[in-house]
Every structure is written in C-alpha cells, then in structure tokens.
Chain A
C-alpha cells in the first residue's frame, strides 16, 4: 500500500517519468496479451461472423444501393482528378514532401470508455514523435501522446482531454472540437453559429501547429438538444490500421537574428557610452 501511495504521489509530481514507465509496461503487456488472447479472439470473431450472416441479405441490398451512388461519385471524382492533374501540370506544383505517413496496426485500446486512447504497433523505433497526427485513411483519429520503443499511444480526439482547433468549411468559421468521451464531440467557441449548417465539412485549422492544416475531421451535425457536434469521418467503432503523419511544423522565427543564426549566442545589449556626468 505504501508503494501504491508513493506511486500516486510521484506520478502527480513527476508525471513524465511515470508515463514513460507506463509506456514501457504497455510495450511489454500489449503484444503479450494480443498473442495470449488470440484463441478467445478467434471464438468471438466466429460468433460475430455468424451474427453478420443473419443480416447478410439486408446488407447486400443496402450495399448495392450505395454502390450505384458511388459509381456516380466515381465518375465525378475521375473527372476532377483529370482536371486536377492538368492544373498541376500547368502550375508545376509539388506536393509537400514532409507529409509522409507511417502505417501502424492497432494493438490495444484503453479498455474503458472513461479514457479514449489506442495503442499502435509503431513507436520510437520507427521514428515517431509526440504530437504527430493519426488518421484512419479518411479522417483524423487523434495524435501521438506517449511513446514506447515499439508501441505508441494515440490520444483520440473523442477523449475529454483533447481539444482541436478546426475550421468549418465553406464559411471558414473557426472553432474548437472538444472531446467529451462520446463518439460525437461537441463544437465550442464558435463565433457565429448562424453561418454554419449541419453537413458542413470540418477540417483542422493548423492553429497551434500540432496538426497540419486541412485534415478532414468530419461533418457538422446537430443533436436533438440543438447543440452542434461533429459526426466524425473516421470510423471509430472499427479502427484497425492508423496512418501517422510525419509532420514537422514550421519553426517560429521570433527575431531576425534567430532566423539567420540559430546557434550563435545573441550579442548582449550594451548601453551607449555616456560622457561622465561628474566632470
């Protein structure tokens, strides 16, 4: 009990150190548990497969309907892509090479709805850094918060400690997406709610330089009580693989000398030599 009490106290005082220990524990525990629970996971998967067979016909009909719509979209997308390629060619545009992604497998989740985070099987070994954005291929999922050697913890944007600056398109209104442990986080600090409508696209704004700008978060929705929330683009019910964006934000340039000579110590300001007054 003394040990436990000490752990709490030390964690409160020196949180980073204990969090590093946590990541080491998880580094060892998550892969071990994944392999040990594999048989049980197999059984559950079989049961789930049987359940999905029951709804197969209905699902099939729905998929056909969606497929028809998708074909229309695909046609539009192909036309846009061709146009885009032509314009890029005219413009000699290069895509930012800094935006490279590392893909990781989801190893574990937080195990309770009180904390929304995931563990992926890429870590410091793969060059990950704290704060990098994680996507599921469509939309933003979260950011790296905690690095182990072979695993990294992704803090989801649904967690109550996550707050993300965002822009609502097309009106360009800025707002914060504040997680509340639900699957549809509410939108706060919206300047003018009259300018936005449910269905608007929400993307990251890039303010605060943690996330790159223009990552898709989701679309705007209104809950029955009239509160604005985000319908997330990423499928949070079934996250299996995550893409982690390698992104180094532009460094701040606080002063001219800081920009030109980053490592040279700044000359101290000296007062102009004054004639002595006593004479």
Chain B
C-alpha cells in the first residue's frame, strides 16, 4: 500500500510554534516590514486556522490560546480578548473539519472567512461594550480582506514546508486511525 508519509505531530507542533514566534518577532521589528503603517494580514490566525481545518489532530487549543495571548501582550492589544475569540473560532473550525474534508477548497476557505469575520465582529462588539477605543471601519475591513486573501498562500506554504494538506475521506492519520 502506497501511502504518503505524513509529517509527525511533534514536528508540526515545533515548527508551528517556531513559525508563530518568528512572525510575531518580525512584526514588531521597527522599520522592517512597515507593519506600523500598513495593515498586514493576521498571519497567526491564518496559520492556526489552516492547521485546525487541515490537521485537526495536531494543534492543541491551549497552544493557540497561549500564543495568541502572547501576541495580545506584545502587540499592545487588550490582553486576552482577541486570544479568547480566536481560540473559540479555532475550536469551531475543529468541529467543522468533518464537513470541510468532504467539500472542496472553496468550501474550506469559506469556513475560514466566516470564522474570521465572526472574530472581528465580536471583537468590535465587546470593545464597544467595554468602552475600549475601536479602530476605523476602513482599517478593519482592509485587515479582513488581506487576511482572507492570504489564506491560500499560507496553505500553500504549509504544504510545501510541512506537507500539511487536506485529509481526504478514507485516509489514515498518523495514529493509524481511519479518517
């Protein structure tokens, strides 16, 4: 039986953690990527979203929450709010992976888009409720579009880097379970 060799869970976990820390570190470097003037896609959310949809058995939610909380601290966001929302979104994406596995890529992309839109919407709603300053509509819209359109690129990178791809029905995962 010819089977694609899948990257082991721990390799994916380690690389993901290193990648997310590198993204965070590069993002706050001054005068490097111009991140303080331009709206850039939220790469961390895409990374975790893609992994949740494609390899649901690998990334623990605690890791997503931990990295996102660190990001909240480092990026001067209200600590915990965005982390909480994105962890809930990741959990929802985990629940949806059965349906995603049977659909095509566009369906997967749509699920991701919905999850991110809900995160942004609730972040704005809760911020308004807690009397926190909210950014202008246009900036948030640009963030949304950038993030959604970067999703396929991140997926491609993940495939080239870690051989992470969509599981098709009937495939076995690393633990030998029939997917």
Binding site for B on A (CB under 8 A): 1, 3-8, 11-12, 18, 21-22, 25-26, 29-30, 32-34, 36-37, 40-41, 44, 106-119, 153, 160-161, 180-181, 183, 237-240
Contacts and interface: CB of A to CB of B under 8 A. Distances in A.
A119 B25 CA distance: 13
B175 interface: no
Contact of B73 (A22, A107, A115): A22
B135 A181 contact: yes
B77 interface: yes
Contact of B87 (A4, A108, A109, A161): A4
A55 B25 CA distance: 30
B4 interface: no
Contact of A4 (B27, B40, B76, B80): B80
Contacts of A239: 30-31
Nearest to A161: B133
Contacts of A181: 135-136, 139
A44 B32 contact: yes
B78 A34 contact: no
Given A7-B83, A37-B29, A113-B39, 18 more contacts: A1-B88, A5-B80, A7-B79, A8-B84, A22-B76, A22-B79, A25-B74, A29-B73, A29-B74, A40-B22, A40-B26, A41-B29, A108-B29, A108-B74, A110-B76, A111-B75, A113-B37, A239-B31
Given A112-B40, A113-B38, A183-B37, A18 B79 contact: yes
Interface in B91-135: 130, 133, 135
Most buried by A among B65, B75, B130: B75
A229 to B, nearest CB: 16
B92 to A, nearest CB: 12
B11 interface: no
Interface string B62-83: 0001001110011111111101
B36 interface: yes
A33 B28 CA distance: 9
A208 B26 CA distance: 37
Contacts of A22: 73, 76, 79
Given A1-B87, A161-B133, A115 B76 contact: yes
